[in-house]
Structure 1
């Protein structure tokens, strides 16, 4: 394989922006300020300090009519009363894709035995570390990410990046959070098999004759969050949270400036005795251009439910109710377990 130096792209690794944990997705990802479990390695690593022992999380979702599969697993543990460690793995892939580039042999005959299968998959492995600052109520966390992307035998890439997150909780229980993703800019460098790529060019004369770009850049993003939980009669609570999701590029987000685009999100979680949860959220506000060149506003409403008993929590989320936006639609299930219950 040989890589060629070409113009770098500005966007990559969008699979790392889909999100994890059905509980968070049910609240439209408005969790930057209050995330406080094993899934904090993804949302804000500072929240890992709330993990008292050891936790495991699993999630699965299907997209595009079950064509693409999204899988996630994470583990976190407390190191001591002032630090914690976590690791997570994400895979987003499409398997068993038909490779018909060799369908026609050298004599021009169609031979179905020459059809093969391949997969295209994106992997993200994140190592997280969190620590409490000497200042009361302030914690920080750091992520180191390794990105691996594979397109059959045609091409593959490696990428590396870093995130940093901060959480603050005031005396009156207001919570603030900041998450800076890809703070150093994440680079993916592709290696392309020229012989395999040539089969595509031969299969479609006049198309795909040039090798694609071999360097991708993921620009920094930021999330700002605020949250507060309100208690009612001791048994009931309502968690309200708001996020401002910022990209330092011009996009279709509802707030679109020359140097930053901002997409707000709001989420709510109603809880009964910290056992039964009902969730709702709205986000992904986008300005969409119609066929007549007019602008319309789209948004993504989500809902979810959850149940927790003796350290085991099962959550479900239905994203993009009614297909209101161009976002990914799915039924999402996730599991979270406090592993300490198995050693008691």
Structure 2
């Protein structure tokens, strides 16, 4: 279970997930996600027929995205794991528009002593959303304000790949460090990323986690490296730092907290992310040591 707030609380993200093992080599999971902005004022009828302001005519609506994810994972061997994720997506903008969509993610991880290498292909089939608009609700207002009347359409999300490498280092019997390097590859044109070509854009992300007795964790990270043009025509490089802590309260409960965009590097305000993990049975010690992996 996780809750996060973006843009200083304007947008809210909620996640609820459950997973279980079918047998020694097969696992399944189900997840529910909601990301939305609530209580958006509908000002279409702010002015009455006489042209006077009437705030009692303001109504409110929500704009939210929902996703149901069904997950299956298989242990090909002790070192190699594969997984697939099917997504059913529903998007709703009050009574004005809604969409339904479907997509697939595929991933794999290879374990090698203190190294882990992973590959994730998101939206591998291109995730689509079919939009249906209730144009009659806005036709008159849009015509008066010279806005385009919305029509039903198909929205596509192109595939992207995420490459990851993780290394564990033991400082002593009580303190250890884990470093992670991710490389996200997108194929939807040249983005403002650290590395970009006409074919793909590459965005590196770096994370570092220190743990004490595998019970308390301190995390630091950096992402979104961009070269930005200032008002005077000069360029500067910006990146987004993040910070987090985690703790196992006991053998069944784990709490994590993260703070992103420390110092307001990006144009969006900082975000708080809280998550709680609950196990129906007690975590074994090797679960904390290996983050759930058997070896």
TM-score with structure 2 length normalisation?
0.90
Match of 1:317 in 2: 258
- Matched with 1:100 is 43
**Residue by residue, what CA displacement relative to the aligned partner does 1:119-165 show, whole Å, maximum 9, x if unpaired?**
111112211100011x4411100000111111111101111100000
CA separation of 1:136/1:276 partners in 2, compared to 1, >3 Å: closer, same or farther? closer
Q: CA RMSD in A?
A: 1.8
Cα contact 1:101–1:199 (8 A) shared by 2 = no
The match for 2:21 is 78
Q: Does 1:227 align with 2:153?
A: no
Match of residue 292 from structure 1:
232
Unaligned segments of structure 1, at least 5 residues: 1-57
SS in 2 for 1:322: coil
Q: 1:336 aligns with which of 264, 270, 277?
A: 277
Gap regions ≥5 residues in structure 2: 284-295
Distance 1:176 1:338 in 2: 26
Moved more, 59-68 or 324-333: 324-333
For residue 340 of structure 1, give the secondary structure of its aligned residue in structure 2. Answer: coil
Distance in 1 (CA, whole Å) between partners of 2:97 and 2:155 is 13
Which residue of 130, 136, 139 corresponds with 1:189?
130
The alpha carbon displacement at 1:213 in A equals 6.6
Pairwise CA distance, 1:173: 2.5
Question: Contact between 2:132 and 2:152, CA under 8 Å: does it hold in 1?
Answer: no
Q: Assess if the C-alpha contact under 8 Å between 2:242 and 2:259 holds in 1.
A: yes
Distance 1:213 1:246 in 2: 30
Structure 1 segments (4+ residues) deviating >4 Å: none
Determine which of 67, 88, 92 is the counterpart of 1:124: 67
1:59 aligns with 2:2: yes
Question: Per-residue deviation at 1:103?
Answer: 2.2
Among 127, 133, 140, the alignment partner of 2:82 is 140
Distance 2:152 2:200 in 1: 26
Q: Is the 8 A contact 2:97 2:134 kept in 1?
A: yes
Higher fraction of helix: 1
Size of the aligned set, in residue pairs, is: 281
Q: Take 2:133 and 2:161, find their aligned partners in 1: how far apart are those partners?
A: 32
In 2, Cα distance between equivalents of 1:262 and 1:201: 39
SS in 1 for 2:138: helix
Distance 1:328 1:260, change over 3 A: farther
Q: What does the per-residue CA deviation read over 1:46-97, in whole Å, with 9 as the maximum and x for residues that have no partner?
A: xxxxxxxxxxxx1112222221111111111111110101111111111111
Equivalent residues in 2 for 1:256-295 (5 A)? 256-295=196-235
- How far does residue 116 in structure 1 lie from its aligned partner after superposition? 1.1
2:184 to 227, 245, 262: 245
CA contact (8 A) 1:245 1:264 kept: yes
Q: CA deviation at 1:225?
A: 0.3
Residue of structure 1 equivalent to 2:286 = none
Q: Which has the higher contact order (CA 8 A, sep 6+)?
A: 1
Cα distance change on mapping 1:325 and 1:113 into 2, 3 Å? closer
Q: Distance in 1 between matches of 2:146 and 2:36?
A: 25
Note the C-alpha offset of 1:327.
5.4
